[in-house]
Structure 1
Amino acid sequence: MTKPIGRRAEYAWFTPIITRWMDNDAYGHVNNVIYYSWFDTAVARFLIGEILPASPALMGYVVETQCRYHAAVSFPDAVTVGLRVEKLGTSSIRYGIGIFREEEDRASAEGHFVHVHVVKETGRPTPTPPEARAAFERFMVAHG
């Protein structure tokens, strides 16, 4: 069974992204690797704006990413990245991410990004601090 294409209302936090001429590939649309850059940028902006003020020492390693492509994006399209917290484990968090072209309601691409919170000095997993957990919980969105 194919998962339905996500809509803006299924995401809790948004940030704009500016496409660049160099993002287009030989086929005239944004290259797949750029979507992963947008995922990383959105998660970083989210953490800086929403989570790190409550828990500045929080550090996460990316352990998994995935992307499904639904419709092409090309320079000079305006893009909005939507983010939601899908799962909050003891030391991990899974973000759901949607890429929305212009003002479209349906995602052009969707995926996920998993962080494991670690101790900086050792790189070993550590429980998500309570302040960060409370901040992440504000962005939990049930999804299909």
Structure 2
Amino acid sequence: MTEEYGFVAPATVHFDDLDALGVLHNARYAVLVERAILEWWDARGWAFAGSGPTKPDVFNVIREYSVTFHVPIAGTGRIGVHFWLEKLGTTSAEYRFRFLSEDGSVVHAEGRRVNVCLDPATMRPTPWSDEARVAGKEITKA
């Protein structure tokens, strides 16, 4: 599954991701989008390895997270997590995301997530590196 912008990460819904109704538990959406975004950055050298981050930009936190649910994801199986950078500010990054059926025909949920890059010494916002800005252009919606 491909999209015109961003990246679609394949994901698997497991039995322990389901709630008592047999649908993907609402809290698992945040976990799945987190994994998708982290795996994308990890493949490009931004990760936690050994005792800390491989690059300064890895030290960031989520400031906001919202999701709107459209069609429940019922049962286990494969889905797609489509995400992109909507805006990369000085110290913040706004991601948008969609949860898609495996064939891409159904949008199960969509949302927004904002990360803020922090200085590990001060725990205050700090600018993203030029290197991260260049890499982020690969998934920025034009």
Does TM-score exceed 0.5, indicating one fold?
yes
Q: Which runs of 5+ in 2 are unaligned?
A: 48-53
Pairing 1:86–2:86 present:
yes
Cα distance, 1:129 vs. partner?
A: 0.7
One-letter amino acid matched to 1:13: F
Name 1:134's counterpart in structure 2.
Answer: 134
Q: Any conservation in 1 of the 2:80–2:104 contact (CA below 8 Å)?
A: no
Aligned equivalents of 1:35, 1:139: Cα separation in 2: 20
Name 1:125's counterpart in structure 2.
Answer: 125
Aligned equivalents of 1:10, 1:37: Cα separation in 2: 24
Structure number having the greater strand percentage: 2
CA RMSD of aligned residues (A): 1.8
Q: Which runs of 5+ in 1 are unaligned?
A: 1-7
Name 1:114's counterpart in structure 2.
Answer: 114
Name 1:20's counterpart in structure 2.
Answer: 14
Percent of residue pairs identical:
27
1:61 aligned counterpart, secondary structure: strand
TM-score of the superposed pair, with normalisation by structure 2: 0.85
**Count of matched residue positions in the alignment of Structure 1 and Structure 2:** 134
Pairing 1:57–2:44 present:
no
Q: Give the direction of change, closer, same or farther, for the CA distance of 1:115–1:138 in structure 2 (3 Å limit).
A: same
